[in-house]
Amino acid sequence: MGMVGIGQDITERIAQEEEYSRLIDTANAPIFGVDINGHVNIWNRKAADIMQYTNEDVLGKDLVAEFISNEYKVPVRSVLEKAFEGIETANFEFPLITKAGRRVEILLNATPRYNERGEVMGMVGIGQDITERIAQEQEYSRLIDTANAPIFGVDTNMRINIFNRKAQQITNFTSEEVVGEMYVETIISEEFKAVTYDIMCKALQGNETASFELALTTKTGRKVNILLNATARFDQHGQIVGVVGIGQDITDRIAQEQEYTRLIDSANAPIFGVDVNGCVLIDSANAPIFGVDVNGCVNIWNKKAAEITQYTPNDVMGENLVEKFITEDYRKAVGLVFSKACEGTETANFEFPLMTKAGRRLEILLNATSRFNEHGEVMGVVGIGQDITERIAQEQEYTRLIDTANAPIFG
């Protein structure tokens, strides 16, 4: 007797699907999809650009069998199977092999795709090409590992996750022995555990600590004195993921200072008086040492000070140290340090610049100590310094690498 047709206007749905396809195809991220059998059915322009495979090359092909390297076939197939069960996988890293055989590292979010009945019909993956980021991280790790300074890192639980070669060399621990262990409990000397823990806690809150002295205990039980800068590490979302410490082994420097102190304490005369051995030790020390009288005029200038500044003792003796050799912006601060020392107040780990004869700026880390005569009266100041110009340049380079990295550094 005839036919009746019940229709549905799907114009809007088709328009939505076409817009969805257009957005996928023009997205600035590689997007690909597979059906329930793992065969490719979505392959956008960015995926084609990165992989050098056209849609015609890949559509209908088994994604895992054709385009995934052997060592990742099982984990990638596992991600697909989870998606087919309705389970999303976020931030999954795996390599794809391009048409030219190049390996491309992909960070993927794999999401189930559903049909109009709510049934899983496949998986869509929105990816990110992280090949360059991984190369940057590897280069950064190489720079850290080969740096001529001990570098340590911890996660948010204060477990060690960075321990470079120099750190291994001075502590006698290998990275395998300490990575994953608690930093404070494992290698920090007992008397420094509490304060080091506090410093790390502050860094995990974003508060950097510079020029902090602590003692490490080596594998053989020997103490090593370290001057450390503790800085927070951030991931790509700006979240703190740990702390990195760039250190300097100051064990020898402290031993020298203790020897100088012993000579000072035992001298039967003004601080460096007529103690011939002490004078020789000071003059030949591998650290810049200089002294001034109560008027701030130079009266001690050892060989190392002469070497790094290119001024001979004859050039500087009797000259006002602050006025002649300190940069304008630091004169007030350095003058204050010497004034305090002339009042009997020592200043440790004070950083300031010295200008060389050639006009080059040197960064000096100084301990400024009062000098007394035989009556216990202050007769001047002696400064035992350390040239940290190179260390500061290294730290600035590491900071530059961190600031300009296009990815989380150790994320």
Residue 315 and residue 357 in contact, taking contact as beta carbons nearer than 8 Å: yes
Residues 104 and 18 in one domain: yes
Residues 33 and 147 in one domain: no
Residues 20 and 125 in one domain: yes
Indicate the average pLDDT of the chain.
Answer: 82
Residue 348 and residue 366 in contact, taking contact as beta carbons nearer than 8 Å: no
DSSP state of 161: E
Q: Can you give the pLDDT at residue 19?
A: 54
- Tell me the pLDDT tens digit for each residue of 25-74: 667 788 888 999 999 998 888 888 888 888 889 899 999 988 888 889 99
Residues 257 and 177 in one domain: no
Residues 384 and 257 in one domain: yes
Q: Can you give the pLDDT at residue 16?
A: 57
Q: Report in angstroms the alpha-carbon separations of 307 from 35, 277, 319, 360, 368.
A: 73, 21, 18, 13, 20
The reply to whether 153 falls in a domain is yes
Domain stops at, among 106, 129, 152:
129
The pairing of beta strand 298-301 with beta strand 31-35: unpaired
Residues 222 and 294 in one domain: no
The reply to whether 147 falls in a domain is yes
Residues 272 and 207 in one domain: no
Q: Can you give the pLDDT at residue 303?
A: 86
Q: Can you give the pLDDT at residue 404?
A: 60
The reply to whether 329 falls in a domain is yes
The reply to whether 409 falls in a domain is no
Q: Can you give the pLDDT at residue 3?
A: 66
Cβ neighbours of residue 285 under 8 Å, at least 6 residues apart?
Answer: 256, 302, 304
The reply to whether 315 falls in a domain is yes
Q: Whose structure tokens read 């001979």?
A: 312
Report which of residues 155 and 29 the model is more confident about: 155
Q: Domain total for the chain?
A: 3
The reply to whether 400 falls in a domain is no
Residues 310 and 376 in one domain: yes
Instruction: Say how many residues make up the chain.
Output: 411
Q: Can you give the pLDDT at residue 147?
A: 82
Domain stops at, among 224, 249, 274:
249
Q: Rounded distance, CA 157 to CA 9, Å?
A: 58
Could you list the residue range(s) of the whole structural domain that residue 180 is in? 135-249
Q: Report in angstroms the alpha-carbon separations of 226 from 142, 303, 327.
A: 22, 25, 28
Q: Can you give the pLDDT at residue 271?
A: 33
The reply to whether 397 falls in a domain is no
The encoded tokens of residue 310 equal 């290119």
Residue 88 and residue 112 in contact, taking contact as beta carbons nearer than 8 Å: yes
Q: Rounded distance, CA 214 to CA 187, Å?
A: 11
Q: Can you give the pLDDT at residue 278?
A: 41
Residues 285 and 360 in one domain: yes
Binning pLDDT at 50, 70 and 90, where does residue 22 land?
low
Q: Can you give the pLDDT at residue 272?
A: 33
Residue 386 and residue 305 in contact, taking contact as beta carbons nearer than 8 Å: no
Residue 271 and residue 264 in contact, taking contact as beta carbons nearer than 8 Å: yes
- Tell me the pLDDT tens digit for each residue of 228-241: 899 998 876 788 99
| Residue 322 belongs to domain with CATH number | 3.30.450.20
Domain stops at, among 129, 144, 165:
129
Residues 115 and 15 in one domain: yes
Cβ neighbours of residue 269 under 8 Å, at least 6 residues apart?
Answer: 275, 374
Residues 123 and 146 in one domain: no
Residues 69 and 81 in one domain: yes
Report which of residues 163 and 144 the model is more confident about: 163
